A and B are shown apart, each in its own frame.
Chain A
Amino acid sequence: EPEVTQTPSHQVTQMGQEVILRCVPISNHLYFYWYRQILGQKVEFLVSFYNNEISEKSEIFDDQFSVERPDGSNFTLKIRSTKLEDSAMYFCASSDGTGWQVVNQPQHFGDGTRLSIL
């Protein structure tokens, strides 16, 4: 069964440094998402992406964050200048956009990248 893959599994970065988290969504999916989960808290939506542009973003997704689909397979989340509070598990997800029931397609999640800011 096809899966969403995320790399690296764990990223340790100094505060103020830039970090890029990488995701390879399922190949025929058209909708891409990033979520994060701070330790002990709920999974929170960051951003959704479709047709090479952001569809929706949360209040968390400020100017320090950006997303990109640099080629036909990767979907990246960049944090320009990391802060201590960016430490969290970051999940990538994708969903199918084919067929008329596009709004009902479930999201498939990757294993996550644990980001630790020192």
Chain B
Amino acid sequence: AQRVTQPEKLLSVFKGAPVELKCNYSYSGSPELFWYVQYSRQRLQLLLRHISRESIKGFTADLNKGETSFHLKKPFAQEEDSAMYYCALSGGIQGAQKLVFGQGTRLTINP
């Protein structure tokens, strides 16, 4: 079964502090992992995906197959990072790959 777990519903850190949003997954095949972000009153948007191995808005995430994790990290949090963050796994038949989402973590950056 495909499952994504985000253990923290709420995470609050101070501006300038490091941030780590945890994501663990369960999948029998080769997973594709994504982080989506939803800012206040905005739509879900892709933040980054593991195959790109890029940094977006200072965020990075490394796929650790041994630990089945895909944690999202940023060394210095900014107030505009406050948002809802969803980890998602792509699986299913080739071509139309459904996303399986975690429950989301609401990140609040305090000034």
Contacts and interface: CB of A to CB of B under 8 A. Distances in A.
A91 B99 CA distance: 12
A96 B70 CA distance: 24
Interface in B28-69: 32, 34, 36, 42-46, 49, 51
A103 B100 contact: no
Contacts of A102: 94-95
Interface string A38-73: 000111110011100001101000000000000000
Interface in A84-118: 91, 93, 95, 97, 102-104, 106-112
A45 B95 contact: no
A33 interface: yes
A93 B86 CA distance: 15
Nearest to A54: B96
Nearest to A47: B98
Q: Size range of the interface on B?
A: 20 to 34
Contact of A91 (B44, B46, B51, B90): B44
Contact of B96 (A56, A106, A111): A56
A75 interface: no
A50 B95 contact: yes
**Smallest CB-CB A-B distances: 10 pairs:** A55-B96, A48-B96, A109-B44, A43-B101, A45-B98, A42-B103, A106-B46, A111-B43, A50-B96, A31-B96
26 contacts: A3-B43, A33-B96, A35-B99, A42-B103, A42-B104, A43-B86, A43-B99, A44-B101, A45-B99, A48-B97, A50-B95, A50-B96, A55-B93, A55-B96, A56-B92, A56-B93, A56-B98, A58-B98, A102-B95, A103-B90, A103-B97, A104-B49, A104-B51, A106-B49, A108-B45, A109-B36
Given A49-B96, A55-B93, 6 more contacts: A43-B99, A45-B99, A55-B96, A91-B44, A111-B42, A111-B43
